[in-house]
A = this chain, B = another copy of it.
Amino acid sequence: MSQSGEPAAPARARRGRRAAGEDDARTEIVEAARRELAEHGYDRTSLRGIARSAGVDAALVHHYFADKAELFTAAMALPLRPDRLVTEVLDGPRSEIGTALVRALVTRLDDRRVRDGVIAIVRTALGHEFAARMLREFLLREVLHRVATELELHDGELRAGLAASQLVGLIVARYGIHLEPLARATADEVVRRVGPVVQWYLLEDLPSR
């Protein structure tokens, strides 16, 4: 432990001024992103526009952020990447997507910081139309559309939206309101009960009307 712990303080001191300057630029970009997203929504905000608003070169934005989704999650202080979570799960077996998605989400939400951050986003979106717009455009573009494309479903965005509604509801009821006995159910129990629902929304045939 001492070998890996000791060098930290001197290394931090050496980085000094340089690191502070980098942090400032990054912070300015994130603040510009927040302004642009609030004004124009997710779809109509570009990395170029954010660079202009921050007064920096577009290359510097790309230096810090791989894509718009990454800048969005930084601007919203979103402690998880729903787009990456979905991409991971879509790489697995098609028959287990529902279960894998619920397990991935519940596992991430075990972390209190993640849980609190996600709940704060939902709460803000319920109170402010600009936040709701950012969130819905981000989810449609980076999550629902991706699911629909990967699964090759004609009604994929609606299916993915229904699955998302169940996952959001799980977040609100289990972690936000702490509705019992759902709040104290084990992760396995939640996966067993909610996984098939998410799978059904995404891939199963609908009942006849």
Residues of A in contact with B (beta carbons under 8 Å apart) = 119, 122-123, 125-127, 132, 135-136, 139-140, 144, 157-158, 161-162, 164-170, 172-174, 176-182, 185, 188-189, 192-194, 196-197, 200-201, 206-207, 209
Contact = CB atoms under 8 A, between A and B. Distances in A.
Given A122-B126, A122-B172, A179 B165 contact: yes
A182 to B, nearest CB: 4
Majority-rule SS of A interface residues: helix
B165 A125 contact: no
**Copies per complex of this chain:** 2
Given A123-B127, A126-B122, A197-B200, A140 B180 contact: yes
Contacts of A180: 136, 140, 157, 161
A203 to B, nearest CB: 13
Contacts of A161: 173, 179-182
Contacts of A123: 123, 126-127
A181 B158 contact: yes
Contact of A179 (B119, B127, B164, B182): B164
A167 B158 CA distance: 16
Contact of A206 (B119, B127, B162, B192): B192
A96 to B, nearest CB: 12
